[in-house]
Amino acid sequence: MSLALMSQLITIVLCIGVIVQATRMMRELKAVTNGDMSAVVTGLDRATLQASAVLADLKRTLGTDGAALAQALADGQELQEELTMLIGIANSMAERLVDAGKTRPGPTINMAEASAPPIMSAPIAMPAHMPAQPVAPVMPDATFVTPELPETQESKEAREIREMLEPYLREIA
Confidence of residue 169 (pLDDT cuts 50, 70, 90): confident
**Residues 42 and 26 sit within 8 Å (Cβ to Cβ):** no
- Among 86, 94, 87, 103, CA closest to 152: 103
* DSSP assignments along 16-56, one per residue: HHHHHHHHHHHHHHHHHHHT-HHHHHHHHHHHHHHHHHHHH
pLDDT, one tens digit per residue, over 10-62 is 999 999 999 999 999 998 888 777 766 777 788 889 999 999 999 888 888 87
More confident call, 93 vs 172: 93
d(CA 83, CA 89): 10
- The set of residues, in sequence order, having a beta carbon less than 8 Å from that of 132 and lying 6+ positions away, is 126
Residue 144: pLDDT band (50, 70, 90) is very low
Q: Which residue has the higher pLDDT, 99 or 17?
A: 17
Residues 6+ apart with CB under 8 A from 153: none
Note the pLDDT of residue 20: 95
Q: How many helices (H) and strands (E) does the chain have?
A: 4, 0
d(CA 78, CA 85): 11
Share of the chain above pLDDT 90, in %: 17
How far is it, in rounded angstroms, from Cα 89 to Cα 148? 26
